[in-house]
Amino acid sequence: MMRSTRSTVVYMRLLIAVAALLTIGTALSYAAEIPNLGRLDFPNSGAEEAQAPFLRGVLLLHNFEYDDSAEAFVEAQTADPDFALAYWGEAMTHNHPLWRQIDQDAALAALAKLAPTHEERLAKTPTERERGYLRALQNLLGEGDKSRRDDAYSAAMGQLSATFPEDQEAKAFYALSILGTQNGRRDFATYMRAGAIAEEVFAANPRHPGAVHYMIHSYDDPVHAPLGVRAARVYADIAPAASHAQHMISHIFVALGHWEESVDSNLKSFEVSRERAERKELGVDALNYHALQWLQYSYLQLGREQDARDLLDQMERYAGESDSERASWYHAYMRAAWVVETGKDAPGGHGADSEEAGAQVLDHFASGFAAVESGDLVAAAEAHELLAAAVDELDGDEEASDEQRVQGRVLEKSLRAKLELADGETAVALALLAEAAEAEASLALDFGPPNIVKPSHELFGEALLSTERSEEARAQFEIALSRAPRRSQSLSGLAKAARALGDVDTADRACGELASIRAQATPMRELPSACSG
């Protein structure tokens, strides 16, 4: 009798456990540490044979390796055709929130492979938590304004995270969704809120690639970058196989002006992309041009001109082979950076011939800037006319952001100001530069090489210095350095202005900083005369 009672109790407990399991669905906990990509624990109802590709897909998704992530999710679908989250994952690879991109048609096509309608997809999803992921994603895929859809998606991810507080993936994607609501703006309170949520995920799983990735994005401005140093160093170790992950480290180091560490991370990033392109037999557009751009900028700050020029020539070859607008833009930016930092010209044309107005703006600005530096004011005026036309085109481009339009207008005013200075119209030039600096100040802080390739506060300071208005010049250089720490030309300008004012401490501090930056260059680039003696 006692055995029977005991058996009944055990049986009843088993029924209760089964009932509880059925209440929340049939999700099982699957954890994975994939070498060189990170570790996560993502309970789900997929078949066991689908777990490896699915978890790899999620790790790649957190690392923004979208193409490889999509391949992994398709592999998971093949292993388990009824696995709802595998289709969710593929759809997610078509949403790039921090790049302000979403391909709604492609995302919906991925989901349609599971079932043709949202309601049918929910019916095929066995747990309430997994249905929450699909419901949240659906907010991104409807009609209407992208900002409204981003907000709705973020709110849904916040609700999912609150309903299932142990779900670290919901928290990680919620943090990313918060950053995605900003659309290029930089509201510090919002970014810190995202960073705090990512920090929670990091505390629970110190090898979660999304946690450190989204912490870096939350902190990668000159004000908050010190908060991201830990995440940057950890990310370097977590995901060495992800090109984007290796590049992301430099978001913190560029914001701090740590040029050597930026060089190291972008060299690794580009090499990973090159190895992947060779392994998968892809074209040059599979290369990480973004890392190449940041690498060149870091070389220029260090005074490693030959290394910077070699990269520019390399990018010129890629732009010629690719003939894509993306490659043309990167070549145009790198050429403009070279011209601005060295005062020397380099072959252009890819940006000028591009259909992308932003690339045209950069190429014409570079041509005009170089022409002024060489004294060819006729060529400079011609370049300015082309630049002004490209800016007008950018203003009329519905796909261009307000930030891009401001950047174009600032560069146009800057080149016009250089022409006015060369013609002796100092008052006109200074008025234009004051307008340019005010416009740039309205923009969010950059998180990498300056989008306005010749920062307007720096150019304004140089113009003021040339007219012996050293006090005003110093103020402009200080603003420039607050927006782009340890930038070499701003440090040089600050040293000259401070020396002219007899401010020995500031001049010596700027010179010391500049000397420490350029110490790694071979041969070392000459310091300004204000730093001699």
pLDDT in tens, 80-102: 999 999 999 999 999 999 988 99
Q: Please tell me what DSSP assigns to residue 272.
A: H
CATH number at residue 77: 1.25.40
Using DSSP, state whether 354 is helix, strand or coil: coil
Domain end, chosen from 189, 207, 238, is at 238
Domain end, chosen from 180, 212, 238, is at 238
β-pair type (38-41, 101-102):
unpaired
Q: Name the packing angle between helices 168-180 and 188-204 (round to 10°).
A: 160
Query: Residues, the chain, total?
Result: 533
**Mean pLDDT, the chain, as a whole number?**
92
Cα–Cα dist 456/436, whole Å: 6
pLDDT-based confidence at residue 24 (cuts at 50, 70, 90): very low
pLDDT-based confidence at residue 32 (cuts at 50, 70, 90): low
Residue 263 lies in a domain: no
pLDDT-based confidence at residue 525 (cuts at 50, 70, 90): confident
- Termini Cα distance of the chain: 102
The residue ranking higher by pLDDT, 282 or 20, is 282
Q: What is the mean pLDDT of residues 473-484?
A: 97
Residue 58 lies in a domain: yes
pLDDT-based confidence at residue 323 (cuts at 50, 70, 90): confident
Residue 77 lies in a domain: yes
Q: How many CB atoms lie within 10 A of CB 261?
A: 19
Cα–Cα dist 387/370, whole Å: 14
DSSP track, 76-93: HHHH-TT-HHHHHHHHHT
Domain end, chosen from 223, 238, 253, is at 238
296 touches 312 (CB < 8 A):
yes
Whether 285 shows a pLDDT value over 90: the answer reads: yes
Residue 2 lies in a domain: no
The sign of the torsion formed by the CA atoms of 357, 358, 363, 364 equals positive
pLDDT in tens, 449-469: 999 999 999 999 999 999 999
pLDDT at 5: 43
Residue 529 lies in a domain: yes
CATH number at residue 504: 1.25.40.10
Cα–Cα dist 298/308, whole Å: 8
Domain of 180 in residue numbering reads as 21-238
Q: How many CB atoms lie within 10 A of CB 529?
A: 11
Amino acid at 522: T
Residue 307 lies in a domain: no
Indicate the number of domains in the chain: 2
Residue 365 lies in a domain: no
Residues 332/335/336/340 CA torsion (nearest 10 deg): 180
| Distance (Å) of CA 54 to CA 47, 67, 109, 516 | 10, 14, 18, 47
Residue 519 lies in a domain: yes
Amino acid at 348: G
Whether 507 shows a pLDDT value over 90: the answer reads: yes
pLDDT at 398: 83
pLDDT-based confidence at residue 281 (cuts at 50, 70, 90): very high
